[in-house]
Structure 1
């Protein structure tokens, strides 16, 4: 059993906190393949797994449901994996990281799921790469790697012709591509939010913008440290990674950078939308204040005239005049109409 870690690259902590993990049944799928042969089995335990391993083929064990500590400890004993690895796998709020051991490489990543009602969910995915084997541990269903199963089973692409390091590349590529799919949908949602904001800058729209911002931040927490993990994997000096694979890993790294750039663009757009909302609210308030000011301005001379003739002086000739009341009313109307015309010419109303 290996007790010494050679390198440990930690990234930001991206907590998922899913309470549904413990209620899911653990499933184990075993694949053994090379260019000419393919074998697939559904397992209940790992007890006889070593008997299924073939040294001349790539052996892939995919475990969905990481709450079974006994199963993980059993895997650690059978394959001489450090017991702390099992602890890291079952701790689903683990930081994204990559650790190098003499006989294997351990990687912790975050995968993204888009559930019904546009609910975003992150799950932890752990990968162990050995000489001719790969272990994958997924926290939740559905299985992220079903499409890879089909590619291996139907012998599509180069995955059957290359080694375990290429399988890890394919796994990473699928996880990263899922982010692209989600972000494409988020781009459409952001465009819709922008149109809604222009047409109806209501508190409900602002709430939707802030909810969208929270989801973008969640994705950012999952992808930002991924950049360092993929970079370290590509630079790692290990016999487990063929030099010809490094160009593929760099391709995944470029995709991660593109995702991060897209997320940063979304964040800038969201900040701009919040500024637009605040400006819209301010403009509405200014319009209201302008209307109230115009009304008050119109009534200032009218109130002055009414106040003058409301004073209790004895000698006010207009009070005894036959046409006094009508004249004052007409003067008020003329003042009112004149001020309205003046305001319209100034384009204040």
Structure 2
């Protein structure tokens, strides 16, 4: 799968392209970005805002309103959309597919759309951006800002769906493994899964609201076809939220079942110990009596005394065991 290849980090410009509005485009650098004119084509600039250069350019040279520029470079963000008179601000979250990262550690992507310009910004790599770039380079990319947003949203939602499916398969496996493996190990994995579910859901609900707001508020950047496509993705996000709620409920039920199973096992062990104690208590009492160092102990003077005492204890123990068995105490 194609991965984005960022420019040296001191540049802060991951890439910039001029799209021909037919699916293709060509790369430009900082100089081309500064000299771009609308008649050249649709501009797409993708920034790494962990570097200082993009923040300065967006605030000082891009022509954006300061609140828009500040939103694109903000340290912490939540999914939202905000139409304005000049364009459309969209902030979304995607699954973190970077090596060694947890999928529930979601990556933020900030998007500003105008009729002739697209600005996207991120702090960590997001695979869908590289896939859009590769599609443009092969002549199969988006032809308009609205289509660009639709492709971006669909890619983000697809990967969220894959993560939700993995969680669903994981809880199925945990439920099946509960009777075959150590319950404590399964409970630990279940707790991790519930944590991932909570983190995913934390951003999916506002992401659904952001997409809903896009289609509810008319905007000059998005066409009717774009709105229809985004509405479909909003419905998918809603289904994923419902799936996560179901996974969370299944996790809670499974955890309660594991707790009950552990309690049952502990009670069974305690019952066995109690039965053994009840069986041996009278036997221990009798052996204590017969072991006292006083005269008059029955059988002390006969050679069959030990055998008789042992037989008596065995018989008494058997009677006690039979009594407990009939009472269904074990």
Q: CA deviation at 1:259?
A: 1.3
SS at match of 2:179: helix
Partners of 1:32 and 1:54 within 8 A in 2: no
Q: CA deviation at 1:287?
A: 1.7
Q: CA deviation at 1:128?
A: 0.4
Query: 129, 141, 145: which is aligned to 2:113?
Result: 129
SS at match of 1:67: coil
SS at match of 1:145: helix
Structure 2 residue 103 is matched with structure 1 residue 94: no
Q: CA deviation at 1:327?
A: 1.2
In 1: Cα distance, 2:131 partner to 2:53 partner = 29
Query: 38, 42, 48: which is aligned to 1:58?
Result: 42
Query: 253, 267, 271: which is aligned to 2:248?
Result: 267
SS at match of 1:249: helix
Query: 250, 259, 267: which is aligned to 1:278?
Result: 259
Cα deviation per residue 1:133-168 (whole Å; 9 max; x = unaligned)?
Answer: 2211122125432222233333448x33xx311211
Q: Aligned pair in 2 of structure 1 residues 156, 103: CA closer, same or farther (>3 Å)?
A: same
Unaligned runs of 5+ in 2: 1-7
Cα deviation per residue 1:306-336 (whole Å; 9 max; x = unaligned)?
Answer: 2443456644544444433321210111223
Query: 211, 214, 221: which is aligned to 2:195?
Result: 214
Unaligned runs of 5+ in 1: 1-22
Cα deviation per residue 1:254-306 (whole Å; 9 max; x = unaligned)?
Answer: 11101111211221122122212212221221121011011111112212322
Q: CA RMSD in A?
A: 2.7
Cα deviation per residue 1:99-135 (whole Å; 9 max; x = unaligned)?
Answer: 2221011111222113445633322110001122221
In 1: Cα distance, 2:158 partner to 2:306 partner = 82
Structure 2 residue 39 is matched with structure 1 residue 39: no
Q: CA deviation at 1:175?
A: 1.1
1:68 match: 51
SS at match of 2:276: helix
Q: CA deviation at 1:40?
A: 1.8
Structure 2 residue 138 is matched with structure 1 residue 154: yes
1:204 match: 185
In 1: Cα distance, 2:150 partner to 2:78 partner = 20
In 2: Cα distance, 1:295 partner to 1:117 partner = 53
1:186 match: 167
Partners of 1:32 and 1:60 within 8 A in 2: yes
Query: 13, 30, 35: which is aligned to 2:16?
Result: 30
Structure 2 residue 305 is matched with structure 1 residue 324: yes
In 2: Cα distance, 1:273 partner to 1:48 partner = 58
In 2: Cα distance, 1:188 partner to 1:116 partner = 22
Question: Normalising to structure 2: TM-score of the pair?
Answer: 0.85
Q: Aligned pair in 2 of structure 1 residues 225, 37: CA closer, same or farther (>3 Å)?
A: closer
Q: Aligned pair in 2 of structure 1 residues 28, 117: CA closer, same or farther (>3 Å)?
A: closer
SS at match of 1:239: coil
Partners of 2:18 and 2:28 within 8 A in 1: no
Q: Aligned pair in 2 of structure 1 residues 114, 190: CA closer, same or farther (>3 Å)?
A: farther
